Amino acid sequence: MPRFFLPVEQAQGDLLTLSGADAAHLTGPLRMRPGDPVTVCDGAGTDIRCRILTAARDRVTLEVLARSPSCGESRCAITLFQCLPKGDKMEQIVQKAVELGAAAVVPVLSARCVSRPDPAAAEKKLRRWNQIALEAAKQSGRSALPPVAPLMGWQPALLRLAAMPHPMMLYEAERGGGLPGALPKTAEIGLLVGPEGGFSPQEAEQARSLGIASIGLGPRILRTETAGCAAIAVLQHITGNLS
């Protein structure tokens, strides 16, 4: 069943309205008509089962049939702190992280980031990343919309990560320990992933000094666009959120 997102304040009452691109997509490519079923999500964890009452290209009216908590959301809240990779790799990372259940994505500038967009370019990228997150949330059956935060500098990102209950850093030079064997099902986890060149020794030491656990993902070196998503999948399994 097609899924659409509405802000919480627009998802109240017995009648809902889709407009703009959503209405055009529903009546155009999807070829939906009055009487067809649609799911609307409020972006905060509620699925709203609806039926189309009227359908025009610029406006679709829906009748609410039932509201229920989503079964597509993980109870484990994982925030991915992803150091900015080259090219358009961040688009793939955002898409896959959202599909795997990440609660949020925070782009970070670290010492070895090659990509350093100016403010105008960063704003354009941010709009693009959030649109990708929205489409990935629809495709994967989620009812919460994971935000992609504005690009953060190293220091503020590190402090935000360190304040989380379970802060972790994927570090390719780490040989001592992997991901925890057990975590609460409702754990709040922060996961820091470096760019193509990894973290400098100074950055790794600074993170450790703030209580951020340094972890590895085995003997193989993973690409930055692979590492974070692999770790998210493993963390979802460890916390029992894949069953």
Boundaries of domain holding 11: 3-69
Round to whole Å and give the CA distance between 235 and 101.
10
In this structure, are 35 and 111 located in the same domain?
no
**Structural domain total, the chain:** 2
Is 243 a domain residue?
no
Same domain, 84 and 202: yes
Record the pTM. 0.88
Predicted confidence at residue 14, as pLDDT, reads 96
The domain spanning residue 125 has which CATH number? 3.40.1280.10
Strand intervals (E) in the chain: 3-5, 15-19, 37-41, 46-56, 59-69, 77-83, 104-108, 166-170, 188-193, 213-215
Please indicate, yes or no, if residue 125 is contained in any of the structural domains: yes
- pLDDT for the residue numbered 177: 67
Co-location of 151 and 57 in the same domain: no
Weakly modelled stretches of the chain, pLDDT under 70 = 175-177, 182
